[in-house]
Amino acid sequence: MRITLTRPDDWHLHLRDGDMLKGILPETTRDFGRAIIMPNLVPPVVTSFDALQYRARIIDLLPEGDDFLPLMTLYLTEGTDPEDVAMAAKTRTISAVKLYPAGATTNSDSGVKDIDNVMPVLEKMAEIGLPLCVHGEVTDPSVDIFDREAAFIEHVLMPLRTRLPELKIIMEHVTTKDGVDYVNSAANTAATLTTHHLIINRNHLLVGGIKPHYYCLPIAKRETHRLALVQAATSGNPKFFLGTDSAPHTDPNKESACGCAGVFSATNTMPCLAHVFEDAGALDKLEAFTSLNGPAFYGLPPNTAKITLTQQDTPVVFPAKIETGDGPVTLFNPDFPLFWRVS
């Protein structure tokens, strides 16, 4: 079997910097035309100048002849200048701003502690039509880690939506039925879904021993939530689109007493998704999820290039690890054989 799709985009991607960037960048550019690049470097990408410099470093490392387009974001802090954001948007230096609750995930310590302190920025974004990408979890230690997405929706997102109904919001890496239901109900709101959250539940992480390469934030949830994500992804609903949240960490940093959160899936995402959509009887919806819905929400045209996925009789062999100058990075293992490949 062969299916041809508009070349996909990744609307949530971590590329890191330096030797790690050099090592893992080709794993995305091989299949994807564009990607929203996360700004949580050390130090983070907080100004338009930072974004210009980071984009230049990415472009300098592109494989020869590659037309991949990095879509940059700014890391929202309580000191972010609304006018700098507006200037960066006007010059198309950035495509969105990213809200990290302080301490929610990797390199998020500079994030937002009180959303009231960033309202001038959010008001400016609503005025100019610049999207806000949200890591949707509270960091209150009294809230169970499996409930933090639902608590964020109730205590942060719903009040923000009431205050700024015109602000375009992307609730990134949704992991719960609560998130799916909220996105379905809210105007000017969309969601990205990751490859790994469509495939794993919390049993993959915890049963038979802790599996560090399945540890991510937001953490994988119950099977009932995974099924809700699959239904949303395969429905054709334009509110849902692919954001892999592919997040490389070297093996020593994952396989440690306090391992880093993140799943690296750039290399095999499209074959994994073809499996998921075929299993759901929804291969005809794969193009919308990977290639059409995201550009439509961001106000961009779809890519003009195409890719072809071919199904073969024997399992496709992917590398277990990607070797980088920073160290080895383990590739996401979906825990089932993959028979699809990008040809």
CB-CB neighbours of 320 under 10 Å: 9
Return the bridge partners of 311, or none.
Answer: 340
The token pair that represents 339 in the structure block: 């028979």
Of the listed 31, 84, 178, 245, which one is catalytic?
Answer: 245
| Separation CA 309–CA 5 (nearest Å) | 8
Please give the helix or strand (H or E) that residue 11 lies within, else none: strand 10-13
Residues 167, 124 contacting (CB under 8 angstroms): no
The overall longest dimension of the chain from CA atoms, in Å, is 56
Residues 134, 170 contacting (CB under 8 angstroms): yes
245 is catalytic: yes
250-264 as b/e: b if 16+ CB within 10 A: beebbeeeebbbbbb
CA angle 37, 89, 114 (to 5 degrees): 75
Enzyme catalytic residues? 245
